[in-house]
Structure 1
Amino acid sequence: MHRRHFLNHAWRGAAAASGLGAVQGRLWAAAPEGASTPPRLLMVFLRGAADAASVLVPVSSDFYYEARPRIAIARPGAQADAALPLTTDWGLHPALAGSLAPFYQQGQLAWVPFAGSHNLSRSHFETQDSIEYGFDDITAGAKQQSGFLNRLAQQLGSQRRDSMAFTDQLPIVLRGALPVPNLRLASSVRNAVDERQAALIARMYRDQPLAGAVAEGFEVKREAMRDMAAGASAEMQAASRNALSSSGFEAESRRVAQMMRERYHLGFLDVGGWDTHVNQGNATGTLASRLGELGRGLAAFADAMGPAWRDTVVVVFSEFGRTLRENGNRGTDHGHGTVCAVMGGRVRGGRIAGEQVAVSAATLHQNRDFPVLTSYQELFGGLFQRLYGLSPAQVQAVFPGSQPKDLGLV
């Protein structure tokens, strides 16, 4: 069995404490200028292509409202469930009012519209893979045999215990020369490998080439369990103070925060379910419910990070956006340009960043989608350069052949 695959199976069984409270939306002050604390970075991948025009609503565009007669989000002030005003051109989905809007208002959240990959396949799988490799061309990415976060960790001189994929399988973005563990914290304890089974497996691999990897895999799992057990009591108390139940993502994000504030400085997790071809809804409905859960989960992560939030950056992105025009099923189809959220105590937020154009029929990509004006390689490269002080050569090592675009996000 391949070493990475064995470690995946050994780690994925760890379980976390349950029973978490509702989001309180606490904001922590930004880190002082010149702070020396190492930054923490969490990348959140929305798999399935989230609808950018519903998250960040182009409220000044008459064409947007013509193109979406049944699923558009109303202009600010038009009705109770209208978009929240951000600028004269942009509004925020009302499902994010109690979660992400406060971060924008406090200058800890920036939105980057017209972002994404230049891959034109409109395939979820190809585009996701190409983004994780860090290339628009999936073939070139596969030849690289590593993901961009693994290459970033190598440039930062990271060790195994600095990075973690909070996923069931090790994603492409963290595969590469630097071994990185993966662990889905919400896994059921019933699926865990107990100590007796771990000892049997370790004996089975004794004096074999994989013996060290097996032992290390179980030790990472034990450490994760100890870390989560230490915070279980506080989490259960938080739940008992609030009658509302938390969503799965909110619970997961609190567990991720617990581990990142104590040990990991580079993390990755993914959230599925964004492929809204049918009955997408507008201010209410399928997409609104998912956005509400996402917003509460991100706010819960910030809250659970505590003072460490001052040194944290969270990047939320999706493989592509969706068609600007609604389809015949009150949904949207696979698009191109999307929107990226960058939030955290280190973020220079409260603004819409990056190159922008008016949303009209004339500016659509292939007469159907938002264009990509800032590629992910440019966006992430510029962010990493600022956040970590990477040299041009180091940025090239992370994103070969791409030039970073400094949007002043941190």
Structure 2
Amino acid sequence: MKRRDLLKALAAAPLFSHAGNLLAAPATNAKLLFVFLRGGYDANNLLVPIGSDFYYAARPNIAIPKPGADNGALALNADWALHPALRDSIYPLFNSGQAAFVPFAGTTDLTRSHFETQDTIELGQSLDGRRDFRSGFMNRLAQSLNADKTSRAISFTDQLPLIFQGGAQVPNMALRSLGKSGIDERQSKIIAAMYQNTSLQKPVSEGFVVRDDVMKELSGEMQAANRNAISTKGFALEAQRIAKLMKDKYNIGFVDVGGWDTHVGQGAGTGYLAGRFDELGRGLAAFSQEMGSEWRNTLVVVVSEFGRTFRENGNRGTDHGHGSVFWVLGGGIRGKQVAGEQVAISQPNLFQNRDMPVLNEYRSVLGGLLQRTFSLSTAQLDHVFAGARPTELGVV
């Protein structure tokens, strides 16, 4: 094996975090899938403030028409409606009490930088102190639950994200393009032998077990896809694969979805952003269906680093903003509500006369959801989000 090929092979091999009983199910029934929409999605066209004349004046070309119009919004209550692209996916979940939304949510970080704000949320640390880039909040969650032997965490990404950096080693494996492994059995043995009797022997060995386990678990589904048995694509297919693994083997998962930076031509009821919502919604609906009976024990949280400017720009798009909308889904939640602190959608209530304000700070919102979902003690919650006071939304 050439050195160049060896390095590529090592980069592709996941490292596993825990020794022993790799195929055992988690000891707790509660499950969490955290979905990160990278790029800052336009939450104002996701959760449409249909009662606000200011919304329609501020967006003459990209506002979602009111309910009842062609490609009109889907009414949730007297004040809010949902983007029409989610009619067949998230809207039925909302009406059945399995989806809720938290507007005016986000971080108080004001940089409006994709990378800076993504880091802020993934770290989950107070902005008042020095950042520790070796400690993401989902890793700290895994550590807290591991004390009770209840956590099996995995990142469904090409590389381990910042949110999972930390003391608990977590495997990562992207599922969007599964196929034949780049490392055959002979090469796996060579690599494993190279690390024998070293500190990396166990994680390398267990990493190959994870890879083989995932490939074995999904082999039947991949064969069906090759015969065009699965009609969905992109995130919808990936979400089904994630569910196949999470319902039996893992209880904490992370996945990120890109393509949300809509400076130009984002569209309204149809168009670019509508297409992204459609794919995301179908994926989350497919995830809920694939989870089967485990859906009642599952919490899905969808966030983005920030929202977009409330007014459309000269290119019929939106620019980097501030407050956003979090999604909360699950078979056992108290959904069918728009939760959290809110204010009227009007120009005087804009943040810096341009953005939705942040009234529901993300650490408090997530802390409240996680505390309820995993029955975290005060000490465990403080380990995940030090100094944050959990918000009781009445959703979980």
Write the deviation string for residues 164-183 of structure 1: whole angstroms up to 9, x where unpaired.
Answer: 00000101111111111000
- Following the alignment from structure 2 to structure 1, what is the Cα–Cα distance between the partners of residues 352 and 10? 44
Among residues 193, 196, 219, which one is paired with 1:229 in the alignment?
219
- Following the alignment from structure 2 to structure 1, what is the Cα–Cα distance between the partners of residues 144 and 37? 26
Counterpart check, 1:68 vs 2:54: no
Give the CA deviation at 1:211. Answer: 1.8
Residue 177 (structure 1) aligns with: 167
TM-score by length of 2: 0.90
State the AA in 1 paired with 2:276.
R
Residue 94 (structure 1) aligns with: 84
Contact 2:151/2:252, CA 8 A, preserved across alignment: no
5 Å-filtered alignment, 1:177-256, equals 177-190=167-180, 192-232=182-222, 240=229, 245-256=231-242
Residue 153 (structure 2) aligns with: 163
Identity percentage of aligned residues: 52
DSSP-derived class of the 1:341 partner: strand
State the AA in 2 paired with 1:151.
R
DSSP-derived class of the 1:115 partner: strand
Write the deviation string for residues 287-315 of structure 1: whole angstroms up to 9, x where unpaired.
Answer: 00000000000001011111111111100
Contact 1:82/1:94, CA 8 A, preserved across alignment: yes
- Following the alignment from structure 1 to structure 2, what is the Cα–Cα distance between the partners of residues 170 and 293? 24
State the AA in 2 paired with 1:204.
M
> Which ranges in structure 2 are unaligned for 5 or more consecutive residues?
1-7, 16-26
Residue 399 (structure 1) aligns with: 385
Among residues 104, 108, 111, which one is paired with 1:118 in the alignment?
108
Residue 3 (structure 2) aligns with: none
Higher alpha-carbon deviation: 185-194 or 149-158: 185-194
Give the CA deviation at 1:75. Answer: 1.0
Counterpart check, 1:153 vs 2:142: yes
Among residues 247, 269, 277, which one is paired with 2:255 in the alignment?
269
Residue 369 (structure 2) aligns with: 383
- Following the alignment from structure 1 to structure 2, what is the Cα–Cα distance between the partners of residues 161 and 375? 26
Among residues 5, 11, 16, which one is paired with 2:14 in the alignment?
11
- Following the alignment from structure 1 to structure 2, what is the Cα–Cα distance between the partners of residues 290 and 391? 38
- Following the alignment from structure 2 to structure 1, what is the Cα–Cα distance between the partners of residues 111 and 128? 10
C-alpha distance 233-150 of structure 1, shift in aligned 2 (>3 A): same
Give the CA deviation at 1:155. Answer: 1.2
Give the CA deviation at 1:136. Answer: 5.2
State the AA in 2 paired with 1:43.
F
The count of residues paired between Structure 1 and Structure 2 equals 377
Write the deviation string for residues 98-156 of structure 1: whole angstroms up to 9, x where unpaired.
Answer: 1100000000000000001110000000100110000353963326x211111111111
State the AA in 1 paired with 2:292.
G
C-alpha distance 132-254 of structure 1, shift in aligned 2 (>3 A): same
Counterpart check, 1:339 vs 2:342: no
- Following the alignment from structure 1 to structure 2, what is the Cα–Cα distance between the partners of residues 8 and 138? 36
State the AA in 2 paired with 1:154.
Q
C-alpha distance 161-218 of structure 1, shift in aligned 2 (>3 A): farther
Q: CA RMSD in A?
A: 2.1
- Following the alignment from structure 1 to structure 2, what is the Cα–Cα distance between the partners of residues 199 and 139? 45
Give the CA deviation at 1:387. Answer: 1.1
> Which ranges in structure 1 are unaligned for 5 or more consecutive residues?
13-35
C-alpha distance 322-152 of structure 1, shift in aligned 2 (>3 A): same
DSSP-derived class of the 2:325 partner: strand
C-alpha distance 236-191 of structure 1, shift in aligned 2 (>3 A): closer
